[in-house]
Chain A
Amino acid sequence: MAKNMSEYKVDTEKLHKLGDYMDSLERGEGELINILREAQEIFGYLPQDVQLFIARKMGIPAAKVFGVATFYSFFTMEPRGKHVISVCMGTACFVKAADKVLDEFRSRLKIVNGNTSEDGMYTVDTVRCIGACGLAPVILVNGKVYGRVKPEDVATILEDIETDENMHSEVGLQQ
């Protein structure tokens, strides 16, 4: 059934914005990827209902949209935290106990299900080798590389992020 926008369990205003973007596009190769990019830009991630909306509006199977959304690593189906910590699980990092680092982050942030902390502040996920094997184990904090990370360093790293956060909000730089 063609649904009304209000029947999707997501922000209607954002959905309208996505709809307008889709209307402005010319049909063609790569269209779906662009739409998904824009959707992720608008919603921060790709909720199921947004994928359904896209599928129905384009007249293609929802499975196809889901297929593309799962194929590219830059799409995510979970809401992302404000801070994203990615732990490399490539071979070099793995043998240097990257999994211990990962566990430490998850337990400190009390992440049990999924990858995002309950307050929505942190997402902890894993990546494949990022080509900095010499620094193994490697993590990325909001895109910035940290090398030779030990589980004992996790607490300090989290503290640093928080201090940063406070500084920014104090001087009103937070966007």
Chain B
Amino acid sequence: MSKVKLTINDIAVEAEKGMTIVDAAKLVNIKIPTLCHLNIHDIKMVNRTASCRVCLVEVEGRRNLAPACATEAVEGMKINTNSLRAIKSRRAMVELLLSDHPTDCLVCERNTNCMLQSLAAELGIRKIKYEGAMSEYKKDSSSQALYRNSNKCIMCRRCETMCNEVQTVGIYSAVDKGFETVVSPAFGLPMLDTQCVFCGQCTQVCPTAALTEVSHVAKLWEVLADEDLHVVVQTAPAIRVTIGEKYDMDGVDCTGKMVSALRRLGFDMVFDTNFGADVTIVEEAHEFIQRIKNGGRLPILTSCCPSWVKFIEHQFPNLLDIPSSCKSPHIILGVLTKTYYAEKYNIDPSKIVMVSVMPCIAKKYEIMRPEMQHEDQRNVDIVITTRELIAMLTEAGIDFKALPDDDFDNPMGESTGAADIFGTTGGVIEAALRTTYEWMTGKELKEIDFHSVRGLDGLKEATVDIDGKPFRIGVAHGLGNARILLDNIQEGKEEYHAIEIMACPGGCIDGGGQPYHMGDIEKVKKRMEAIYKIDAAKPLRKSHENPYVKKLYEEYLGEIGGEKAHKLLHTHFTAREKI
């Protein structure tokens, strides 16, 4: 790469050709404030709207200030980031934004976690200069998953870039004009009536509280306080490696502390979604082998991700025969809690409240689907995100770092390494392969790690030899990549035997309900490493070896893929409109 030489605040900089002024300044540790700008290279999320103008800097010889996020650093440039004019203009831009922004920071969902708020603090804004008319928009919590409050929108349009370009769902557009401009779904529809899949990736990039999850914390506090109820919690594979971030434990496996913390919050039982994941794998591997044996529809698609399921329902309604009919792991654990566990311990299922702590916003929507019900009982009653759990721990004054380690409760607390890797892209298919291989060949799988399906590449492929036959595996994460894969299948360009899709880039470790990474993809990479470490350290790493899963089938379900298993653990899909 060729280099260019320039100076920033009289400091000589050698930048790579093509770099923006913002990035060149970073090389010499000068921070230029930005707001709308976001470049997450690994997942191809680049927001170039240059709409907020808080990054204005002085470039010698130019009459106008230049937006540093959108201006290339070129040979010989002399830049001053802190001339009086630059400072004043940047402040004026922020003051302008604030003049049409509610100032209810004290009671805002993103209080202490909002980029507009920290920018106002960093620029030392002390009063809002321009008092003008405020836009007033209706708030939308129709989906029980994604909360939209356009009054807090600053028109950076990051959500639009994420949804339209990365996820290719295409929910948002800037609509109307002038002062009335707002980012909105088509026809201003409530989110529930659109093809939104509730991946929540837009909440990960929104700098303010314009897009967040619909919070169920208040409801959960009430439930926990009710002596009459038996409140059971489960945590997804990807929570244990992200919850520590709040306490400066990035990339640390916090399983033990997390379980302790949940007990302190007052849950009666702490189960592990991982157990549900092991059950998912034995059911799914069984289904896969059946399809191969009976000449059934291939590829088989994993169906653990409710966003991805909703995506195929809207976008590829004629491919609804390829996903596995398995419910997702937390739903499976929910059903089993209200049937198997309730019967075993003689608890009235109507008194059980099943709570899932998920990395995901779509799971809030998923539990409302009519299929996720058994004999008038919802499979899962409440879903909270990692972010909401952290908020509850903070509210309860729990000193997370100082907590002792604790273990999940049996009979649904034990899991294999195969379940742990569900939390990252490639993990579900790797887990399925470990079991499918052994069941099909009757031999022990020695080389258990499938490296070719790991990592952050958007589309991954592998050919696995099972009993002399090559099996083609495809993996996609991020719905834009999923669309490419499905287009290829639909057009008959590619043939696969099995496919894994996760809606969120990186998989659940970067789910829409995870702690905000603010564009720092290194955080996501650390989460991934932590997950594979947990798997490697487990004594059992194949789902079908889980002794409690075996027991579940012996004591309760009967045959794998049998009638009872089907009734409780499987579901179906519905074609939906494209809007």
Contact = CB atoms under 8 A, between A and B. Distances in A.
A and B are interacting partners: yes
Interface of A: 1, 48, 51-52, 55-56, 60-67, 70-73
A56 B317 CA distance: 15
Interface residues of B, number: 20
Interface of B: 164, 169-177, 184-187, 317, 575-579
Contact of A61 (B164, B174, B576, B577): B164
Contact of B173 (A1, A63, A72): A63
A36 to B, nearest CB: 14
A118 to B, nearest CB: 23
A56 B577 CA distance: 11
18 contacts: A1-B576, A1-B578, A51-B186, A61-B169, A61-B171, A61-B186, A62-B187, A62-B579, A63-B171, A63-B172, A63-B173, A66-B173, A66-B187, A67-B173, A70-B175, A70-B176, A70-B177, A71-B175
Contact of A63 (B184, B317, B576, B577): B184
B577 A1 contact: yes
Nearest to B168: A61
Contacts of A71: 174-177
A142 B15 CA distance: 61
Nearest to B188: A66
Contacts of A61: 164, 169-171, 173, 186
Task: Give the secondary structure class of B's interface.
Answer: loop
Top 6 closest pairs, chain A to chain B, by CB: A61-B170, A67-B173, A62-B186, A63-B173, A63-B186, A70-B175
Contacts of A55: 186
A70 B180 CA distance: 10
B575 A1 contact: yes
Contacts of B175: 63, 66-67, 70-71
Given A61-B170, A61-B173, A66-B186, 11 more contacts: A48-B187, A52-B579, A55-B186, A56-B578, A61-B169, A62-B578, A63-B171, A63-B186, A64-B173, A65-B186, A70-B176
Contacts of A60: 170
A70 B172 CA distance: 13
Contacts of A51: 186-187
B480 to A, nearest CB: 13
Nearest to A65: B186
Contacts of A72: 177
A51 B186 CA distance: 9
